[in-house]
Amino acid sequence: MTTRDRLLGLTVVVLWGLNFLAIRVGLDHFPPFFFAALRFLVIAVPVVLFIPRPRVPLKWLLLYGFGFGFLQFAFLFAAMAAGMPTGLASLVLQSSAPFTVVLGAVLLREHVTRRQAIGIAVAVLGMVLIGWDRANNATLLPVILTLLAGLGWAFGNLGNRLAKAESPMRLMLWMTVVPPIPMLALSAVVEGPSAGWHAVSDAFGPQGWPGLVALAYIVIPATIIGSGLWTVLMSRNPAGLVAPFSLLVPVVGIAAAWIFLSETPSVLALIGGVVVIGGCLGGMSVRRPAEAREKVPV
């Protein structure tokens, strides 16, 4: 991975870390499934009208959009609406990194080293600690929902890689076309057919502007810019190299939730978070073989 790609990865980290604050604000104004649909719908309409569809197999585009767009955000927004703390959500969602490596090994036959396997085991231990803490001090359901969101993200990562798009940005934009219809259908069934549209009407009132600002942040910096950069990174680097960058998102997410929302995670949850990040960043990095290192100019 080049230095430029590492800097792009860190940019995504900041954008996605702050994204959790925007999600929390948005969920105070919109029903969760409708909010998830809305974030993609406002992008999908101009994409269909003005952006040519990327030349990739439809099945991989659908896998990317359904995993990254529908599954990830349906479960994530449901988890946060059910009481998942903002900072902790940013941490548990990063289970997508070990999920991506495992799915890459099982489905794409990507090589997993002993170092990576140990890192995944350590990360799982950290998730167990977080789950134990939530089960004893709150409820376990939001953690389970967030883990399912991470699994959905991992399937989306595989769809992105398998698509092998010549224009990763176009692929990311067309990914947003997939989630709105199933998400709106889910919203209509669970939340009622008119609840979301009433929330949109209220958002243009004097008290609704924070919801619109949150939506704008999620759409432009988090989705278009952040997801676009992530798509580029996943398209030109092995999944096992890119996925661990997502483990730095909780550093931003937890700090932002502490500063702006006064969320203070428990000691056990913080220990679990350190274990997760340490295991994934330390154990899931891929070392270049010796012969490759010898070819690098010094």
Residue 241 tokens, joined: 């190299």
Q: What's the one-letter identity of residue 237?
A: N
Whether the model clears a pTM of 0.85, i.e. scores above it, the answer is no
Report in angstroms the alpha-carbon separations of 209 from 38, 138, 196, 215, 262: 16, 31, 16, 10, 22
pLDDT at 293 over 60: no
Which of the residue ranges 196-200, 201-205, 242-246 would you say has the lowest mean pLDDT? 242-246
Angstrom distance (rounded) from CA 68 to CA 149: 9
Query: Which percentage of the chain shows pLDDT scores above 90?
Result: 44
Token look-up 């909010």 returns 35
| Nearest by Cα to 45 from 166, 243, 150, 180 | 180
Residue 120, helix vs strand vs coil: helix
Report which listed range, 68-82, 114-128, 276-290, is most confident. 68-82
pLDDT tens digits for 31-52?
Answer: 999 999 999 999 999 999 999 9
**Average pLDDT of the chain to the nearest whole number:** 86
- 156 or 123: which carries more pLDDT confidence? 156
State residue 278's pLDDT score. 79
Which residue in 155, 178, 175, 179 sits closest to 167, CA to CA? 175
pLDDT tens digits, residue range 85-141?
898 888 888 788 788 888 888 888 777 778 878 888 888 888 888 888 877 777 889
The percentage of the chain sitting over the pLDDT mark of 70, rounded to a whole number, equals 93
| Mean predicted confidence (pLDDT) in 59-74 | 95
Assess contact for 127 and 279: CB atoms under 8 A. Answer: no
Q: Answer for the pair 219, 73: CB distance below 8 angstroms, yes or no.
A: no
What's residue 42's pLDDT? Answer: 94
Mean pLDDT of 199-216: 90
> Angle CA(16)–CA(19)–CA(20) in degrees, nearest 5?
110
The position carrying tokens 């679990």 is 272
Among 62, 57, 76, 34, which residue's Cα sits nearest to residue 180? 34
Please answer whether residues 215 and 53 qualify as being in contact, where contact means their C-beta atoms are separated by less than 8 angstroms: no
For the stretch 5-22, pLDDT in tens is 888 988 998 998 999 999
Q: How far is CA 73 from CA 77, 155, 160, 202, in A?
A: 6, 13, 17, 23
Nearest to 56 by CA among 170, 146, 134, 156: 170
pLDDT tier for residue 283 given thresholds of 50, 70 and 90: low
Instruction: Kindly state the DSSP code that residue 70 receives in the 8-state scheme.
Output: I
Please tell me the distance from the alpha carbon of residue 26 to that of residue 109, in angstroms, as a whole number: 39
Cβ proximity of 283 and 115 under 8 Å: yes
